[in-house]
Amino acid sequence: MTGRRAAVVTPWYPDAQRPYRGSFVQAMVEATAPGLDSVDIYHLDGWAVTREPEKLARVRDLQHRLLPRALSPAPAVAGATLYRLPVVIERSRDHALHARRHAEWLSVALDGRLIEADVVHAHVPMFGGLAALENTRPGTPVFLTEHSSFLAEVLAQPDARDLYDEILDRCAGLFVVGEPLHRLVEDVFPHHTGKLAYIANPIDFRFRRPEPPVALRRWLSVAGLIERKRIDHLLRAFAECRAEDPELTLTLAGEGELRKPLLALAAELGLGDAVDFVGAVEPGDIPGLMADHDLLVHTSRHETFGVVVVEAVAAGTPVLVTRSGGSDQVLEGIEEDAGALVEVVDDHTVFADAYRSLRDRFPGKVDLDRARDVLRAKYSYEAVGDHHHRIWFGEAS
């Protein structure tokens, strides 16, 4: 392969209405773009529409006539070119149907042409992956990245599982962003193990707080207010620790369906002004937010990758996080240097006890500099971009 033109096909990418959705895809573009001749991004934005036959027929007819006119370029990060394409999909939980609609509408938008690239990187195999494989010139390698926290649900559907198998058979390789996803894909498709590779989401290491925290009193959570993040568990642990130290504060950065009940729980626990619900935060503001706090706390039940954990250590902030799958992998070998890992149990006092233990050995028995150096070598933009290029173009390390 001599050319270095890349195309990215993805169902998720930040836009004005959802500025955080697909921010990891945007970060991957920023990481891999240096050293490439060009990058074209095809954002296939799913729009749910009616299943009523007559109305659906009219919608599809209009989409067929208008979509080829919608393929207009816009500037994107790192000098890339972005094409946003609405993908109309009848309301359904049929993941195979959704995948085929993504592939169909990209073909309509291209109006008979095929993607011109030397390598294609598609995010989410079911949606970006099939669309890329169906619309890329024969012989062009298509690499996939799987991020989906709902992949088990997808693979529980027989048609979707068969289609995923076909996609893996046709692709050049599949990257997974964490060990839990690797295990899942390997267990379901052992015959495709040779195509699996672990490449994490890139993290920005350019910002670092000027001074490390002195004491671990200002807690920070960056997580959605949803069930699997277990923010109720965190609030109860925080209340227990604050009863011993009234100077403790907790900032909750995130939105979700449980905001109202969590506000009520904070009031019930008598936390008052000690807990600040700040809502969703722009990705670019997270390093500064990390620097304004003493400790990242994360009580999630399971994660595909520990993005916020790496972001905290990159900013020079210690972490107290559960063994949620992604966090274990990220902190392997540097758990005590970065802070502490806590077992996922339903007893909030375990988290409170872990805080007391970390507080008592901080800062003397924590080595944030070493932890940061280890993570930078794995997860920085430069490291992740170089890893992709070596695989895409067969270059020596």
pLDDT at 326: 78
5-202+381-393 and 218-378 in the same fold: yes
pLDDT in tens for each of the 397 residues of the chain? 468 999 999 999 999 888 888 989 999 999 999 999 999 999 999 999 999 999 999 999 999 999 998 889 999 999 999 999 999 999 999 999 999 999 999 999 999 899 999 999 999 999 999 999 999 999 999 999 998 889 999 999 999 999 999 999 999 999 998 788 889 999 999 999 999 998 888 999 988 998 989 999 999 999 999 999 999 999 999 999 999 999 999 999 999 999 999 999 999 999 989 999 999 888 788 888 999 999 999 999 887 677 899 999 999 999 999 998 778 888 999 999 999 999 999 999 999 999 999 999 999 999 999 999 999 999 999 999 999 999 999 864 3
Highest CATH level, class, for 218-378: alpha beta
CB 87 within 8 A of CB 101: yes
Model confidence, pTM: 0.84
**If DSSP codes are grouped into helix, strand and coil, which group holds residue 208?**
coil
Cα–Cα distances (Å) from 260 to 231, 264, 277, 346, 354, in that order, read 12, 6, 11, 22, 28
Domains of the chain, residue spans: 5-202+381-393, 218-378
pLDDT at 347: 94
pLDDT at 395: 61
CATH number of 5-202+381-393: 3.40.50.2000
Distance from C-alpha of 262 to C-alpha of 32, rounded to nearest angstrom = 39
Of 43, 40, 6, 39, residue with least CA distance to 23: 43
Q: At what angle are helices 381-393 and 23-32 packed, to 10 degrees?
A: 70
Distance from C-alpha of 154 to C-alpha of 168, rounded to nearest angstrom = 14
